[in-house]
Structures are given as C-alpha cells and as structure tokens.
Amino acid sequence: MSAAAPSVGISPEAAALITNADLWRLTVGADLADSGDPVRCADGELVIAARDSVGETRLRYSAEVLRSAVNDRIGREEVLRITVRRP
C-alpha cells in the first residue's frame, strides 16, 4: 500500500483504514484490495488510487460495495462517495 496523504477531519477509524494495508484488505477483500490503495479520506470522499486499468474498472464497478464495507468497518456513514484515480 502506498503512503496515504494525511486526512483532516476524519475519524480515527477512517484514518486507520487508509493507512493500514491489512485493515484495508480485511475490509474490502483481497480482489478489491489488490486493485488499488486508499490515498485520502476527507469531506465524505474516499479516494482510491487504482493500480492498473483493470483495477480501475473493478473499483469503479464496485464503488457502492466499497463504500458500504468501509462504513460498516468504521461504524457509521462517514464515506459518502468513492473516487477512483486512474493509474
């Protein structure tokens, strides 16, 4: 997992999720975790950097699944949208 940018104004649970590769993998599953890394979470938006074009497609297609899994892990509706960056 690449180093995540500091995220201001988010819960400690969300911060842990974007900086801990094992927690990210546990939360979203191996396939999605292998597709990209979370890089920032702020203002209700989780930004994920795709590793390649296949991963980008997989992450975009699974955005709602990701959002739900992340919010379940955090314990509240903190992530309102997922943005996937191109590789």
Residue 6: the pLDDT is 45
- How far apart CA 54 and CA 45 sit, in angstroms, is 22
Residue 12: the pLDDT is 87
Indicate the pLDDT class of residue 8, thresholds 50, 70 and 90: low
Entry pTM: 0.86
Q: Indicate the fold that domain 12-85 takes in CATH.
A: GMP Synthetase; Chain A, domain 3 (3.30.300)
- How far apart CA 54 and CA 8 sit, in angstroms, is 30
Nearest residue to 24 (alpha-carbon basis) of 8, 2, 54: 2
Q: Per-residue pLDDT tens for 37-69? A: 999 998 999 999 999 999 999 999 999 999 999
What is the residue extent of each domain of the chain?
12-85
Q: Per-residue pLDDT tens for 18-33? A: 889 999 999 999 999 9
Going 16 to 20 to 28 to 46, the CA torsion angle's sign is: positive
